């Protein structure tokens, strides 16, 4: 069993070495007519795209409020130990911000989330 593991490992290592030796790392240098789509005089800008889509970009802000009743229902003995003082506190809020793009006349918004 041990000999077969060693033999199998050796064969695997040998085949990986053969595969690595066959890779031509100089292939990129052989390409003769490589040109960049942008010249050094070209200034890349999003101004044209932003101008056309400016009115479809939206800001999204949400606030979620958890009721205190939900918090106390998690542990029925909460009030027994801490009293009723925690019931009168303001409910905790959770905020999130984001942005999106309106993609249809129906008002569908695409976000990155």
Average confidence (pLDDT) over 72-78:
61
Q: Return the pLDDT at 16.
A: 83
So what's the pLDDT on residue 69? 59
Residue 3 scores a pLDDT above 60: yes
- Listing DSSP states for the chain in one string gives -HHHHHHHHHHHHHHHHHHHHT--TTHHHH------SS-TT----SHHHHHHHGGGEEEEEEEEE--HHHHHHT-TTHHHHH-GGGGGSPPPEEEEEEEEEE-STT--EEE--
The pTM of this model reads 0.35
Q: What is the pLDDT of residue 57?
A: 85
Residue 48 in contact with residue 30, Cβ under 8 Å?
Answer: no
Q: Given a cut of 80, is residue 105 above it in pLDDT?
A: yes
Q: What's the pLDDT score for residue 75? A: 63
């Amino acid at each position: 069993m041990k000999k077969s593991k060693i033999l199998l490992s050796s064969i695997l290592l040998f085949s990986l070495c053969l595969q690595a030796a066959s890779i031509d790392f100089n292939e990129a240098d052989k390409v003769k007519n490589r040109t960049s789509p942008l010249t050094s005089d070209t200034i890349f800008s999003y101004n044209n795209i932003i101008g056309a889509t400016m009115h479809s970009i939206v800001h999204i802000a949400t606030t979620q409020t958890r009721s205190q009743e939900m918090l106390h229902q998690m542990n029925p003995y909460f009030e027994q130990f801490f009293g009723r003082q925690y019931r009168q506190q303001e409910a905790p809020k959770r905020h999130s911000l984001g942005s999106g793009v309106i993609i249809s006349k129906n008002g569908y918004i695409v976000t990155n989330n």
